[in-house]
Structure 1
Amino acid sequence: MKKAKYIFFFLAVTVSVTAAIASSREPWCAQQQQFFRMSTPWGYYYIPAGRLGIDYTCEYAPYNNCTYYQINGSEQFAPCQQGCFMPLYY
């Protein structure tokens, strides 16, 4: 009976942790450092974007990528937020 009790406890903890991760408001990539892509005649450069709402905002643009994040352990970048990158200057 004690083994069953531990199994149920383990399952309850696993389900609660999974539910907490699944219900997070922003995607996982938004929690990483954000970069924006600058296009030049020589290629693309990824520059740190700062903080959303303070340094930049993503305007509505359904087929554009606003920010990118760096894939862990590599030099490659993947799109994260959708929209058009707009820096905020005060």
Structure 2
Amino acid sequence: MTLTSVFGQTKMTSCDCPKTQFAGTKADTTFHLSNGKTIVLCGYKNPDSKTTNFSEFILAVCGQDTIIDFWGAVLTCRLKANKDTLLVDQLQNLQTGKNFKF
């Protein structure tokens, strides 16, 4: 008797962003949601931040030729996926130092 086991693996989709005037098409970060959708981010990743944050970026659903939205250079955002939802948190610096300096 011969036993054969085959284990399937879920293929993670990778794609790039559609061509726009806002950002390049090379996906910097990919978010795989629990509902099967894949959202890609193209834009600027802040390399100096302790937690990864982004500015001047677009989001797009993988396989679609339109973008979800564009976030400009004056915004700093942190993104995280929670099941089938992608959360975009806008970070704001507050003046808390001596004489209310940053």
Measured against the shorter chain, the TM-score band is: under 0.3
Structure with bigger gyration radius: 1
Q: Which has the higher helix share?
A: 1
TM-score by length of 2: 0.23
Report 1 or 2 for greater relative contact order, CA contacts < 8 Å, sequence distance ≥ 6.
Answer: 1
